[in-house]
Amino acid sequence: MIRPHGSDELNPLYIQDSNRRKALLEEAAGLPSLTVSSAAAANAVMLGSGYFNPLTGFMDRSDALATADSMHTKAGLFFPIPILNVVPDGSVIGKAKRIALRDPNVPGNPILAIQTVMDVEEFSSDEMERMTGKIFRTQDPNHPGVAAFNSSGKTCISGPIEVLNFSYFESDFPETFRTAYQIRAEMSALGWEKVVAFQTRNPMHRAHEELCRMAYEAVKADGILIHMLLGKLKAGDIPADVRDACIRKMVELYFPPKTVLITGYGFDMLYAGPREAVLHAVFRQNSGCTHLIVGRDHAGVGSYYGPFDAQAIFHDEVPKEALEIEIFEADHTAWSKRLNKVVMMRDHPDHKKEDYVFLSGTKVREMLSQGQPLPVEFSRPEVAEILMHYYQSQAVLT
């Protein structure tokens, strides 16, 4: 199985020893505490899960700036996005050397992790603007990732962390949430060595299903990891439980047994396009995957990125030796009326737009809300039925 990023062994920061975890929770009760942002909480979950290997905690100001500028820390570690605990006001922790981090996403704000404080520093407005531009390639406050990144404050608290739980992800998604080390164990038990990963924050229609199958066959993989984001999304995106139900139904009915692992990870979507695609590659390598599908508009939003910018960054900006995982570059996939199957559009230059079945997101939502079935060429009927129930329930609420 492929090595983790940056080390020979995976180093998840979750404290697995129950006695040690109990002792740390007792210690945390007497420490200054801080309710962190949702982004910082998600970073802690990802660090605890081993997805952000080999990081040992939150970056300091100079590492964050170096990572934003060059995708490398000061010490030369390749990492595509700063991993931060940023707050509006650092004075609340005083001169404490250890602090308890409280979860903003769980009622009662329970303790999520303990952080050893190495430094408390301020980003200037210019530095925040510089990082925003590098990470998101835009300063537009209407970009959901830009808005979230700039809403947490400018005070950077750096240092290693010990993670004590996985926030709401384990309890809300017990069948789906998996850490990187759990995924490695499951793939090892199945005897998988070559694995292709598919990233999703949406339900999977026929095009997504066939794309996974195409990549699986093209690289002669042992299995497919469908890895869905379970954290916070922008308004209008379909909730994780609905996506989960759709994907499970599709896999149950249309994939051979023991060829697909359906899993999810606890992170808030950045919508950072190319930089987020590289982050996806890092944590899929840490999960043991050998290939990641990067398709059209991967991790994008609106018209902030070109359709294949997330592929181009691997050629233009990621050093060849930086990652061991390979990228499966996918074109737009759609049902060909002429061939009666889903195809990659780049493979069929003889086709015209009218030769494909296309539906806009707006049209899909409109049809489902009105109880109209989607074309079978676009969506499996069993998947469409789950989505129809969801949209009609939303219509009743409004």
Report the SS3 class of residue 98. Answer: strand
Q: Is 206 an annotated catalytic residue?
A: no
94 with 232, same domain: the answer is no
65 with 40, same domain: the answer is yes
pLDDT score for 1: 87
pLDDT-derived band at 113, boundaries 50, 70, 90:
very high
Looking at the domain assignment, is residue 371 inside a domain? yes
Q: pLDDT tens digits for 252-297?
A: 999 999 999 999 999 999 999 999 999 999 999 999 999 999 999 9
Strands of the 341-344 sheet, one edge to the other: 341-344, 333-336, 356-357
Cβ atoms < 10 Å from Cβ of 249: 17
Task: State the CATH number of the domain containing residue 298.
Answer: 3.40.50.620
192 with 116, same domain: the answer is no
146 with 201, same domain: the answer is no
154 with 191, same domain: the answer is no
Is the predicted pLDDT of residue 397 greater than 70, yes or no? no
pLDDT mean over 218-222: 98
Sequence-distant (6+) residues with CB within 8 A of 316 are none
pLDDT-derived band at 396, boundaries 50, 70, 90:
low
Q: Find the helix packing angle between 125-136 and 61-70, rounded to 10°.
A: 40
pLDDT mean over 33-61: 98
Beta bridge partners of 86: 156
Instruction: Quote the CA–CA distance of 220 and 227 in Å, as a whole number.
Output: 19
Task: State the CATH number of the domain containing residue 94.
Answer: 3.10.400.10
Do 216 and 224 meet the contact criterion of CB atoms below 8 Å apart? yes
Report the SS3 class of residue 128. Answer: helix
Q: Is 201 an annotated catalytic residue?
A: yes
Looking at the domain assignment, is residue 3 inside a domain? no
Catalytic hit among 21, 137, 202, 213:
202
235 with 152, same domain: the answer is no
Catalytic hit among 137, 201, 213, 248:
201
Q: Which amino acid is at 148?
A: A
pLDDT score for 398: 54
Nearest to 94 by CA among 33, 145, 12, 140: 33
What is the number of structural domains in the chain? 2
Looking at the domain assignment, is residue 11 inside a domain? no
Is the predicted pLDDT of residue 395 greater than 90, yes or no? no
> What's the pTM value of the predicted model, to 2 decimals?
0.96
pLDDT mean over 188-205: 96
pLDDT mean over 349-354: 96
Nearest to 153 by CA among 259, 254, 38: 38
155 with 212, same domain: the answer is no
Identify the domain boundary among 144, 170, 196.
Answer: 170
Looking at the domain assignment, is residue 10 inside a domain? no
356 with 223, same domain: the answer is yes
Range of the domain at 350: 176-397
Average pLDDT, the chain: 96
Nearest to 203 by CA among 390, 38, 367: 390
